Amino acid sequence: MKTHIVSPYVLTKATALSLIHKKEIFQEVTKTRKHIFLAMITPLGIERNAYSSELINHQVTLSDLFVPRDII
């Protein structure tokens, strides 16, 4: 079964809470005192909403990763 993604990723409240929890666990386990930045790698980017604006520091899309063949 193929799934075609045609819209940017939407960060939900549940996903945001999960990412916050994972970030806290990482900080506890590693005992880091440095700031943790969250980056999302998605095919079409992230739809901006209250959760993504507060939580996600950087995003990378497919167009950031691949150079068109005619440029090579």
What pLDDT is stored for residue 45 in this prediction? 92
pLDDT mean across residues, the chain: 91
Backbone torsions φ then ψ of 40, nearest 5 degrees: -115, 135
Q: pLDDT by residue (tens digit) across 2-56?
A: 677 689 999 999 999 999 999 999 999 999 999 999 999 999 999 999 999 999 9
Domain ranges of the chain: 9-71
What does the DSSP assignment read for 31-56?
A: T--SPPPPEEE-SS-EE--HHHHHH-
What pLDDT is stored for residue 72 in this prediction? 60
